[in-house]
């Protein structure tokens, strides 16, 4: 049997802050969260790093990891791959040149916008390449969506477009350029500035057969605040002119927004944003209710990457600024295109993703007969459960509790309705049931 891969997850629970309010559990789209001893516990097999739990937490007990910023100074050549939404966080009177200059001042020697990778793909392929076994093609741009398909819709994995995301293409380009200029690979540190947790997970756990290009990941909110302080500190705020030529195209600037990718695809293309909207759509697609679509642009966050959980500003204003920026941009610098052409052969060999495999959370057992018996047992248990999905059992729904029980991770006595029905038959069970509740919610909630 093939050994299961260990997936890195960027979202962590700070147990000192968590008090088990269940808000994270109720919004998780893959039922990855349980409450145990009064604390949220995340199942790594189910988590897709979408960040819904982090947004819902009222006490900031869900945190996202990042690398120490000082790590960049281990390298002679320090490359920042920055998403366009980072620039869109700033007011429109602050040009991209000023933002990039400030990033340089913080210690980076080279700065690339992540979406430059889309310009590279168009240049070397003539169109956005498609490498998928079946249609409709599902974009692989959003790593939370890739994980969602893997864990909740494994039958749709073959629809994922096996094309590297723009940030990877930009990193390949940057690394190759520096090596051609005489830099040694070990001297080059490439860091991605991320607007979301899912991209951290994707970078830390690259696809099968892939070796990671990035040496670290930086929280976009963290860098935004550093850049803002740098801009305030600069005495001559108007000293950096806006460039006559753009380093990326207008289409690239808006690529990460909702409906930024779909218009550039052939055939009937559709954009869907928001993880719960995506789930509803994929359920209909999987069941055959939706047909006739050639390409699906799916984004976990509202307004695409402008709505990433590590953004500092309003997602709608960020999207508006990026669209204004795209409308006002001049032609892509021909010198940039020449640099891309010089790397065409190399880049063409490095644009395709390795195979993406399912990691289904639905599978109950590797043995088919045993899985069928577990499925029957789940149905039996659901007959004993109230199906009110109250969450008092520490699981997000009655069905989730039934699945936990058959997998040996839960007990029927966790259900408060079942407890009360048993106490009617045997009043002495109340003390035992209280112990069950303490194991779920901790002793503190029963000290009143």
Per residue in 344-376, pLDDT (tens digit) is 999 998 898 888 888 766 667 778 888 888 889
Question: Exposed/middle/buried for 130, CB within 10 Å: 0-12, 13-18, 19+?
Answer: middle
Of 183, 175, 119, the residue nearest 331 (C-alpha): 119
- Copy the structure tokens of residue 431: 């003390």
For the segment 112-139, what is each residue's pLDDT rounded down to a tens digit? 999 999 999 989 887 788 888 888 999 9
Question: Exposed/middle/buried for 222, CB within 10 Å: 0-12, 13-18, 19+?
Answer: middle
Q: How far apart are CA 141 and CA 149, in angstroms?
A: 13
Name all domains of the chain by residue range, CATH numbers in brackets: 11-62 (3.30.70.20), 69-348 (no CATH), 368-446 (no CATH)
- HSE-CB at 222 with a 13 A cutoff on CA atoms is 15
Q: How far apart are CA 366 and CA 407, in angstroms?
A: 12
Looking at the chain, the whole-number percentage of residues with pLDDT higher than 90 is 62
pLDDT at 235: 63
pTM: 0.88
pLDDT at 422: 82
| Number of continuous H segments (helices) and E segments (strands) in the chain | 18, 11
């Amino acid at each position: 049997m093939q050994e299961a891969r260990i997936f890195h997850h960027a979202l962590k629970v700070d147990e000192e802050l968590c008090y088990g309010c269940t808000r994270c559990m109720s919004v998780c789209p893959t039922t990855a969260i349980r409450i145990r001893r009064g604390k949220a516990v995340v199942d790594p097999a189910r988590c897709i790093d979408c960040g819904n739990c982090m947004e819902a937490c009222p006490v900031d007990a869900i945190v996202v990891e990042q690398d120490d910023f000082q790590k960049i100074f281990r390298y002679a050549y320090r490359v920042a791959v920055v998403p366009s939404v980072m620039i869109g966080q700033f007011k429109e009177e602050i040009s991209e040149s000023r933002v990039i200059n400030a990033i340089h001042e913080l210690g980076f020697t080279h700065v690339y916008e992540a979406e430059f990778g889309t310009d590279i793909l168009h240049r070397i392929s003539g169109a956005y390449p498609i490498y998928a076994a079946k249609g409709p093609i599902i974009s692989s741009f959003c790593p939370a969506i890739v994980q969602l398909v893997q864990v909740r819709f494994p039958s749709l994995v073959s629809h994922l477009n096996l094309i590297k995301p723009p940030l990877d293409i930009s990193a390949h380009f940057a690394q190759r350029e520096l090596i051609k200029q005489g830099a040694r690979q070990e001297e080059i540190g490439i860091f991605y500035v991320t607007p979301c947790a899912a991209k951290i997970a994707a970078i830390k756990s690259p696809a099968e057969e892939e070796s990671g290009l990035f040496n670290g990941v930086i929280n976009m909110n963290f860098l935004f605040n550093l850049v803002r302080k740098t801009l305030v500190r600069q005495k001559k705020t108007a000293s950096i002119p806006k460039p006559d030529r753009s380093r990326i195209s207008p289409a690239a600037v808006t690529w990460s927004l909702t409906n930024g990718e779909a218009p550039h695809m052939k055939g009937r293309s559709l954009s869907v944003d928001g993880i719960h909207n995506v789930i509803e759509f994929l359920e209909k697609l999987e069941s055959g209710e939706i047909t006739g679509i050639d390409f699906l642009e799916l984004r976990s966050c509202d307004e695409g990457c402008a709505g990433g959980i590590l953004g500092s500003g309003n997602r709608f204003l960020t999207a508006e600024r990026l669209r204004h920026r795209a409308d006002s941009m001049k032609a892509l610098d021909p010198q940039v295109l020449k640099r891309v052409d010089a790397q065409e052969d190399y880049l063409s060999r490095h644009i395709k993703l390795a195979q993406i495999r399912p990691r289904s959370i639905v599978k109950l057992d590797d043995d088919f007969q045993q899985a069928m018996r577990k499925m029957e047992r789940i149905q039996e248990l659901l007959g004993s459960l109230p199906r009110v999905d109250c969450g008092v059992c520490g699981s997000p729904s009655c069905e989730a509790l039934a699945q936990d029980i058959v997998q040996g991770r839960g007990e029927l006595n966790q259900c408060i309705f079942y407890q009360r029905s048993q106490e009617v038959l045997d009043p002495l069970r109340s003390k035992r049931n209280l112990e069950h509740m303490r194991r779920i919610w901790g002793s503190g909630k029963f000290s009143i």
